[in-house]
């Protein structure tokens, strides 16, 4: 199986974000399994520092936010103050690649819904059939599955949708 994905890390996601390069972007390739293992260790009330050094390594630190604030407020005077920091080094991969950019398409239906809601709906529908058909019109979104013994139709209310745009008088 091959999976290709691109992650754009926005500086708005962080309390502090420093990027000192003259390049507008940096492309880092690493083993996603190892990165996932490291990131899964970061829990609530913990902070994350990610740095890229010239040795083609990604340095990742996970620390207890509250203890770090206490240490920082003491101006790092207490050298023995343990902030429960875990440090990781992830080797980057040197790969030859072309940056793939998807074509911009203008679709007749744009539907935005939280993945958890959609997952729950699909989970329910999968109990009654293997194939799911989606019916979109100006005023309703319905998902349907059927097998030889039964069928199920699930309507999605508009308050569950983050965004729903459909071409006028469109029905698919």
Residue-wise pLDDT tens digits, 112-147: 999 899 999 999 999 999 899 988 887 788 999 999
Mean pLDDT value across the chain: 81
Give the contacts of 95 (CB within 8 A, at least 6 positions apart): 29
Give the mean model confidence (pLDDT) for residues 18-35. 81
Q: Cα torsion at 52, 53, 54, 57 (round to 10°)?
A: -70
Confidence class for position 89, pLDDT limits 50, 70, 90? very high
**Residue 128's closest CA among 153, 155, 110?**
153
pLDDT for the residue 4: 62
pLDDT for position 17: 79
Q: Is the pTM of this model over 0.85?
A: no
């Amino acid at each position: 199986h091959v999976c290709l994905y691109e992650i754009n890390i926005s500086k708005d996601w962080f309390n502090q974000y420093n990027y000192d390069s003259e390049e507008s972007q940096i492309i880092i390739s690493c083993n996603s399994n190892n990165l996932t293992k490291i990131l899964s260790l970061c829990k609530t009330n913990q902070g994350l520092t990610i740095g890229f050094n010239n040795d083609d390594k990604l340095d990742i630190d996970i620390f207890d936010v509250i203890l770090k604030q206490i240490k920082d407020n003491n101006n790092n005077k207490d050298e023995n103050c343990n902030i429960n920091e875990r440090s990781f080094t992830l080797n980057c991969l040197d790969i030859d690649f072309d940056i793939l950019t998807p074509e911009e398409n203008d679709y007749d239906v744009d539907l935005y819904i939280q993945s958890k809601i959609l997952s729950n709906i699909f989970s329910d529908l999968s109990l009654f059939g293997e194939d799911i058909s989606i019916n979109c019109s100006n005023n309703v979104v319905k998902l349907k599955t059927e097998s030889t013994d039964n069928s199920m139709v699930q309507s999605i209310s508009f308050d569950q949708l983050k965004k729903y745009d459909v071409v006028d008088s469109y029905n698919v």
